[in-house]
A and B are shown apart, each in its own frame.
Chain A
Amino acid sequence: MVNQEGGVQAIYQAALDQGRFEIQRCNDCGDAVFFPRELCPGCGSGDLSWFSPSGKGTVYAVTTVRRKPEAGGDYNVSLIDLEENVRLMSRIENAAPEEVKIGMAVKARVAVNEGRGVLVFHAMEGAAQ
């Protein structure tokens, strides 16, 4: 059955554009799934539902991309493990790039800019390790 909202990539982005962060859960094996897929990468089932994760995560890997000040300056790129046991790439926005460390506790936020939502993270206060 074709979903009128489009495929899962479009559904994920539409939720972000409305300020909501949603990931999938497989109704057969129970695994959380990210990035969004039409089938569960764990068991192959096509029975997946959307849910709102807690948004809490931990920095798993980190790099600072060096960029000329006139081009916007250095910025952070991190891999973050969510509480729901999935990992994704994002950016920590409320810390200087060099202050982002592996193990930092972070929380998700959806930044909507000109109607386009993007998932970013904030370091939790007092949570740096």
Chain B
Amino acid sequence: MSGDLNHLRGKFAIAGVATFGCGEAPGYTDMELLAQAARLAVADAGLTMKDIDGLCTASASSAMWSMPVVEYLGIRPRFVDATMIGGSSFIAHLMPAMQALESGQCDAVLVAYGSAQRTSTLSRKEIGKARLLMDPQPYEHPYQPMLPMSAYALAASRHMHEFGTTRRQLAQVAVSARQWARKNPDAFMRDPLTVDDVLNARMVSDPLTVRDACLVTDGGGAYVLVRADRARDLPQPPVYVLGQGTAVWNRQISSMADLTVTAATQSGRDAYAMAGMGPKDINVAELYDAFTINTLLFLEDLGFCAKGEAGAFVEDGHIAPGGSLPVNTNGGGLSWGHPGMYGIFAAIEGVRQLRGNAGDSQVAGAQTAIVHGNGGTLSSQSTAILGTAAAL
């Protein structure tokens, strides 16, 4: 077992965050959304683009994505990381960014992402065809699973079989997310939602309905990471990275040893170890909710419930506004928005909660947040624990 990386705890802080064009941004490209979010995040940090000498980014569509981003933003980074492990990439990028800052390789890292998937002029069929070449899965494609949704449906079916989890409990995840979204004027879907609305929605890949699935929206997101001593001199209250861990166990859902246990057990354990904390220390959880089953799996694998007990936990209202564990306080991927890869937006919401900037969604007195990204089809998991100065 590797070291717990405790020496990195609290030495780096997120000094700037921003989103742009979230929801619908017709006429914008992925790059334009990314660039606007990046510009705003750098300004939020009280810096200029010339201060940026580290870049982390990733794209589902382009293998050389970091290079056009560098070119577009006009920067000359000494540290570049374009590791693409799906939606968890932008939380996973925290660790190499921290190592780069620690070593003195660079002084300010921009992590940025953009997607125009909702309003893209490319059809879903064209994108699907390109994915077959870029991400071949020859032992699954012949059976035409509707990816990624069918992979999560298979996991949900197994969880229901092993633990008696019900569709009503899955639906409660969506309802809780909507209740948070109704407090957030930026959320894309804010109409009232009931458990029966979810159960009666169009079934897409059993047992998941369209309301068990995240939204399809546009948007850009970005944050800036600097050493903690520098962050204290910048305009916003620093949000410190206390712990981080990433785990990748498979690509295909058929390669997952147990569909009820994700690599979040490993990434979460590593993040807690580095932070010197446990689930009981967490005030707010931003968990990548690509589908309702994700929230249940991550509540269990990050230690907030025992295995198999997340269904009852959410049914009792624990993750809704007023519950014991605020989860996805912006409304999450299910109700706030899902620009293709949500991890960076989970991190941004975590920062906003800890700064006290979350408006009506604000969790009073929040000092610690766990932000968790999922990638592929339960393939990669990345966890970060963020804290205020009081949590150091």
Residue numbers of A with Cβ under 8 A of B are 9, 34-35, 60-66, 75, 77-79, 87-91, 98, 102-103, 118
Contact present for A61 and B139 (CB under 8 Å) = no
**B296 interfacial by beta-carbon distance below 8 Å:** no
Query: Besides A61-B161, A63-B208, A118-B142, 12 other CB < 8 A contacts?
Result: A35-B252, A61-B155, A63-B150, A64-B205, A65-B144, A66-B206, A77-B143, A77-B145, A79-B154, A89-B253, A89-B254, A102-B161
B157 within 8 A of A: yes
Contact (Cβ within 8 A) A102 B157: yes
Assess the A63–B153 pair: CB atoms within 8 A. yes
B146 near A: Cβ within 8 Å?
yes
On whether the beta carbons of A61 and B259 are closer than 8 Å, the reply is yes
Which of B140, B144, B157, B255 contacts A62, CB < 8 Å? B157
- Known A75-B144, A79-B154, A88-B139; contact A63-B253, beta-carbon cutoff 8 A: no
Contact A63 B143 (CB under 8 A): no
Q: Which residues on the B side are within 8 Å of A77 (C-beta)?
A: 143-145, 150, 154, 205
In the complex, the chain A residue whose C-beta lies closest to that of B155 is: A61
CB neighbours (8 Å) of B161 from chain A are 61, 102-103
Residue numbers in B under 8 Å from A34 (CB-CB) = 139
Q: Shortest beta-carbon distance, A54 to chain B, in Å?
A: 19
For the complex, give the distance between the alpha carbons of A62 and B206 in Å.
8
The interface of chain B, by Cβ under 8 A from chain A, is 138-140, 142-146, 150, 153-155, 157-158, 161, 202-208, 252-255, 259
Contact residues in A for B145 (Cβ distance below 8 Å)? 63, 65, 77, 89
Q: Tell me the complex Cα distance, A66–B204, Å.
A: 5
Return A10 CB to nearest CB of chain B, in Å. 10
- The A contact surface, by secondary structure, is strand
- Which single member of B140, B202, B205, B253 contacts A65 (CB below 8 Å)? B205
Of the A-B pairs whose beta carbons lie under 8 Å apart in the complex, a sample of 12, sorted by A's number, is A61-B154, A62-B157, A63-B150, A63-B157, A63-B205, A77-B143, A77-B150, A77-B205, A79-B254, A88-B254, A102-B161, A118-B142
A-B pairs with lowest CB-CB distance, top 3: A63-B153, A61-B154, A89-B254
Q: Is A63 a contact partner of B254 (Cβ separation < 8 A)? A: no
- Given contacts A64-B206, A75-B144, A77-B150, are A9 and B138 in contact (CB under 8 A)? yes
Determine which of A65, A87, A103 lies in contact with B254 in the assembled complex, contact meaning CB atoms within 8 Å: A87
In-complex Cβ contact of B259 among A9, A35, A79 (8 A): A79
What are the residues of chain B within 8 A of A88 when measuring CB–CB? Answer: 139, 254
Known: A79-B253, A79-B254, A89-B139. A61 touches B144 (CB 8 A): no
A61 partner residues in chain B, CB cutoff 8 A: 154-155, 157-158, 161, 259
Q: A79-B253, A88-B254 are in contact. Are A62 and B154 (CB under 8 A)?
A: yes
Instruction: Report chain A residues within 8 Å CB of B252.
Output: 35, 89
